[in-house]
Amino acid sequence: MAIIIENTNIKNAKYFDDVNINCEINHPDHGWIPFLCNPDDTGSDVDISDLYAKLKKVASPLSQEEKDAKKAIEVRSIRDQKLVNDVDPLATNPLRWDELSTEVQNKIKVYRNALLDVPQQVGFPNSVTFPTKDF
């Protein structure tokens, strides 16, 4: 049976998102360590329910700028995956590219450019419309 550590020494508590809280805890065996506290975590030797209750009282909320920056990373990641999965296998392979009709090549070029332009959309990163793959 695991020993649950009741920890009262915390610092630098800041929300990571709407639920999880980043902090540093003074672990009895490891000293000060970074810790992401999720209230649903059941695999830790730290008393999560006690720690989370304490953190909620002192954690700094994310600013809108920080939320937007995280969302921008998420949107760019989705965009990048679409490029890797939909465009790169065709556009970076000369043999496959040459087998495509000019019409399909042009559709791929338009789709690729639209994906690259996602960060320039009005409302980015919170309101984004991804282009439709039509090839």
| pLDDT tens profile 12-54 | 999 999 899 999 999 888 899 999 999 999 888 888 988 999 9
First to last CA, the chain: 57
| pLDDT tens profile 102-124 | 999 999 999 999 999 999 999 99
Task: Tell me the residue ranges of DSSP E strands in the chain.
Answer: 10-15, 21-27, 31-37
Q: Backbone phi, then psi, for 35, in 5-degree steps?
A: -150, 130
The pLDDT, as a whole number, for residue 32 is 93
| Averaged confidence pLDDT in the chain | 92
The stretch 48-74 carries a mean pLDDT of 94
Which three-class secondary structure state does DSSP give residue 28? coil
As a whole number of angstroms, the distance between CA 9 and CA 28 comes to 10
HSE toward the beta carbon, residue 29, CA cutoff 13 A: 6
Sequence spans of domains, the chain: 10-58, 64-120
8 A C-beta contact, residue 79 and residue 117: no
Q: How far is CA 91 from CA 10, 11, 79, 131, in A?
A: 51, 49, 16, 17
The pLDDT, as a whole number, for residue 1 is 39
- Name the amino acid, one letter, at 109: K
The pLDDT, as a whole number, for residue 29 is 85
Residue that is written with structure tokens 């000369």 in the block:
94
The pLDDT, as a whole number, for residue 104 is 98
